[in-house]
Amino acid sequence: MSSMQTHRQVILASRPEGIPQAQHFRIVEVPAPLPGPGQLRVRNRWLSVEPAMRGWVSAVANYAEPVPLGGVMRAFAAGHVDMSNHPDWPVGTPVTGLFGWQELAVVEPAQIQRRVDDGDLPLSTALGVMGINGVTAHYGLLEIGQPQPGDTVVVSTAAGAVGSVVGQIARIRGCRTVGIAGGEAKRQLCLQRFGYDVALDYKAPGFEPALQRACEGGVNVYFDNTAGAISDAVMAQLAVGARVVICGTASVASWQPAPLGPRVERHLLVKRARMQGFVIFDHPQHGDVARADLQRWIREGRLQYVEEVLDGLEQAPDAIAGLYRGENLGKRLIRL
Amino acid sequence: MSSMQTHRQVILASRPEGIPQAQHFRIVEVPAPLPGPGQLRVRNRWLSVEPAMRGWVSAVANYAEPVPLGGVMRAFAAGHVDMSNHPDWPVGTPVTGLFGWQELAVVEPAQIQRRVDDGDLPLSTALGVMGINGVTAHYGLLEIGQPQPGDTVVVSTAAGAVGSVVGQIARIRGCRTVGIAGGEAKRQLCLQRFGYDVALDYKAPGFEPALQRACEGGVNVYFDNTAGAISDAVMAQLAVGARVVICGTASVASWQPAPLGPRVERHLLVKRARMQGFVIFDHPQHGDVARADLQRWIREGRLQYVEEVLDGLEQAPDAIAGLYRGENLGKRLIRL
């Protein structure tokens, strides 16, 4: 492989409305890039698949410039430096960053998110529990959700890459955790791997009364990855002083126009509650803080993670749509 | 009057769904109460009319026990002690508290909200700008909205008892203020008395584009007294890091069931914004802090207030409905 003169990329071929599907991407083979002065080349080993990618390809105003048509799909990746014109980044260094859905990436040192130095943890974890997902969970729950011991913390997409870490951190902090996930397999994962006190399948009959029973004293923190009907059910159970952390809107297929839902103002008023959104890219300084905790908890056996590995770049184009279909169990990764 | 053996009360005759109307109340004449040991009797001079009274008579879960059927309507009032069995509260002391829509109230000292000691300010101000409305505006804007100099602050019911104080405090704090009110008379009041930089009539054609023009750099703080279509228009203009203060829901006739509106999650996420409700009764310690500021600003001529006086207890039953019809200009008071 190291002698190849071409490499493959997944490019954005057309702009989706709503959730990007396989047909919005195309795999192309292009000449292998060479690093210029001061640059280095990364051979990607792992590519990440995130719900947030939907926003990255959207033409609608967002927190980041959209991926241009014909451009390489923006993605976190982890790999090793395989050519280097910079003394600080020798060949073989494990690194992670927004290297894109491609086999090779030529980057400036400033584009490297971090040198992966997580000891015995597999490189793939740099994209999930030790990457953006784990840091997002840590920041959102602790800084915005501010859980207190004894609080009831509800998590939507509770078995997902972010949600599973949220639920476990909440438990470590002494909270009662209620996970909401789609389907019995994910519900079992919540109970058996992620240690939720209660796990509910939102597709099962009787979900709303079951949620009500599970949250009898009210919901102190709701970590929301979905919006939609799940959120409507949780909002009706808020405790006085509740914090609702808006992390994602996985259940909403399109925001153009915004779908209708029951108004939230009266819940917020009567319960003196707060809803707050955040974007983890605003908080780069939080990465080291979060990773110190996450790494320690993993080594202590208190933080579990589950990865779902898809083999080969050709799996990438349909991988985001698959997340939204709910077909994955655990953090979705593409192995090259 | 001091020798009368009876007095009049406004009692809750039936429980409204939504906004209480005149027919939900009844005026009764009952024996004048006498204070027991340690108690005192207050002769009310001013009765308050608040949008929040809708919630106080609602059977739906709320932040306070509902007024019982047949009970005196809960209301802030200001008056003087006219009989006293307590040495700390001599006859003639001006006081305010939840004395109800009635001519006389026998109370324990603990039920007095405060001894009115605002110097030359008229007693009526203890119910408005120096009372719950002013303190609500001060707490909600400064503690929850956290306006910074140069921020654009949007206020709904901008000419109202709370909104008018919010807009003026924001201006004192160096913000650009945009007021939203119903009708040209209120719009003019916003501009001429309350010093808003821009005032918009939400009933006028072209309201939404006008709002967009008025908020070109985005809305940093939205002080929301209405919910509904006004809020939907403002939420679409939030700036990154915006704070939305949920103080009231005047535009919503009934919350059973909650009306539908465009979902807010994506605004909150993309704009890293916050919506937060509060109830001023949770923050009794804030009253003195707020009143010190409010009193100073009034004396300095920087804080204007407008009162609308209805004469006689017989005006009370329809007074709340009138607020929701938007017929008042300024703080609505009943003078006895």
How many structural domains does chain A have? 2
Give the three-state DSSP class for A118. coil
Predicted confidence (pLDDT) per residue in B249-281, tens digit: 989 888 889 999 999 999 999 999 999 999 999
Which are the contacts of B276, defined by CB distance < 8 A and separation ≥ 6?
A: A268, A272, A273, A274, A275, A276, B144, B243, B244, B245, B246
Contacting residues of B for A266, CB less than 8 Å apart? 227, 249, 252, 255, 258
Average pLDDT for chain A? 95
The minimal CB distance from B263 to the residues A61, A259, A273 is found for A259
To probe the interface with A, which of B265, B267, B271, B283 has the most A CB atoms within 10 Å? B265
B286 at interface of A, judged by CB pairs closer than 8 A: no
Both B110 and B156 in one domain: the answer is no
Contacting residues of B for A231, CB less than 8 Å apart? 265
Q: What is the DSSP letter of A204?
A: S
Give pLDDT, residue A182. 95
A271 at interface of B, judged by CB pairs closer than 8 A: yes
Helix axes B286-299, B132-139, angle to 10 degrees: 100
Give pLDDT, residue B101. 98
The yes-or-no verdict on residue A4 having pLDDT over 60 is: no
Give pLDDT, residue B65. 86
The minimal CB distance from B62 to the residues A63, A259, A270 is found for A270
Both B194 and B99 in one domain: the answer is no
Nearest chain B alpha carbon to A62: B270
C-alpha B80/C-alpha B170 separation (Å) is: 34
Both B142 and B108 in one domain: the answer is no
Q: Which of B157, B179, B31, B175 is nearest to B103 (CA)?
A: B31
Q: Environment class of residue A13 by beta-carbon count within 10 Å: exposed (0-12), middle (13-18) or buried (19+)?
A: middle
B286 belongs to a structural domain: no
To probe the interface with B, which of A65, A254, A269, A281 has the most B CB atoms within 10 Å? A269
Give pLDDT, residue A256. 84
The yes-or-no verdict on residue A264 having pLDDT over 60 is: yes
B294 belongs to a structural domain: no
User: B224–A265: do the CB atoms touch at under 8 Å?
Assistant: yes
Both A108 and A78 in one domain: the answer is yes
Both B273 and B313 in one domain: the answer is no
Give pLDDT, residue B256. 84
B65 at interface of A, judged by CB pairs closer than 8 A: no
Give pLDDT, residue B64. 76
Q: Find the CATH number of the domain harbouring A174.
A: 3.40.50.720
B295 belongs to a structural domain: no
Contacting residues of A for B235, CB less than 8 Å apart? none
A294 belongs to a structural domain: no
Give pLDDT, residue B3. 53
Give pLDDT, residue B61. 63
A212 at interface of B, judged by CB pairs closer than 8 A: no
C-alpha B19/C-alpha B21 separation (Å) is: 6
By DSSP bridging, strand B40-48 and strand B104-107 are antiparallel
Q: Which amino acid is at B173?
A: R
Predicted confidence (pLDDT) per residue in A11-51, tens digit: 999 999 889 999 999 999 999 999 999 999 999 999 999 99
Nearest chain B alpha carbon to A224: B265
User: B262–A264: do the CB atoms touch at under 8 Å?
Assistant: no
B299 belongs to a structural domain: no
To probe the interface with A, which of B226, B266, B281 has the most A CB atoms within 10 Å? B266
Give pLDDT, residue A61. 63
Give pLDDT, residue B270. 93
Write out the H or E segment, with its range, that includes residue A243.
strand A238-246
Both B162 and B255 in one domain: the answer is yes
Give pLDDT, residue A2. 46
C-alpha B295/C-alpha B299 separation (Å) is: 6
Both A331 and A208 in one domain: the answer is no
The yes-or-no verdict on residue A55 having pLDDT over 60 is: yes
Query: DSSP labels for A269-331?
Result: HHTT-EEEE--GGG-TTHHHHHHHHHHHHHHTT-----EEEEESGGGSTTHHHHHHHT---SE
The minimal CB distance from A268 to the residues B261, B272, B277 is found for B277
A122 belongs to a structural domain: yes
Query: DSSP labels for B263-323?
Result: --HHHHHHTT-EEEE--GGG-TTHHHHHHHHHHHHHHTT-----EEEEESGGGSTTHHHHH
Both B118 and B42 in one domain: the answer is yes
Both B201 and B143 in one domain: the answer is yes
* CB atoms near residue A252 (< 10 Å): 20
Both B66 and B84 in one domain: the answer is yes
Give pLDDT, residue A326. 87
Q: Find the CATH number of the domain harbouring A57.
A: 3.90.180.10
Give pLDDT, residue A118. 85
User: A265–B246: do the CB atoms touch at under 8 Å?
Assistant: yes
B291 belongs to a structural domain: no
The minimal CB distance from B268 to the residues A255, A273, A277 is found for A277
Which whole number is the average pLDDT over A78-100? 97
Which are the contacts of B205, defined by CB distance < 8 A and separation ≥ 6?
A: none
A243 at interface of B, judged by CB pairs closer than 8 A: no
Give pLDDT, residue B118. 85
Both A215 and A254 in one domain: the answer is yes
CA B262 to chain centroid: 27
B298 belongs to a structural domain: no
C-alpha B252/C-alpha A44 separation (Å) is: 54
Positions of chain B with pLDDT under 50: 1-2
C-alpha A229/C-alpha A241 separation (Å) is: 22
B249 at interface of A, judged by CB pairs closer than 8 A: yes
Q: Looking at this predicted complex, what is its ipTM? A: 0.92
Both B118 and B58 in one domain: the answer is yes
Domain that holds residue A54: 6-128+305-335
User: B260–A262: do the CB atoms touch at under 8 Å?
Assistant: yes
User: B277–A270: do the CB atoms touch at under 8 Å?
Assistant: yes
Q: How confident is the model at residue A253 (pLDDT cuts 50, 70, 90)?
A: confident
The count of CB pairs under 8 A between chains A and B is 118
Predicted confidence (pLDDT) per residue in A168-217, tens digit: 999 999 999 999 999 999 999 999 999 999 999 999 999 999 999 999 99
The minimal CB distance from A227 to the residues B55, B62, B265 is found for B265
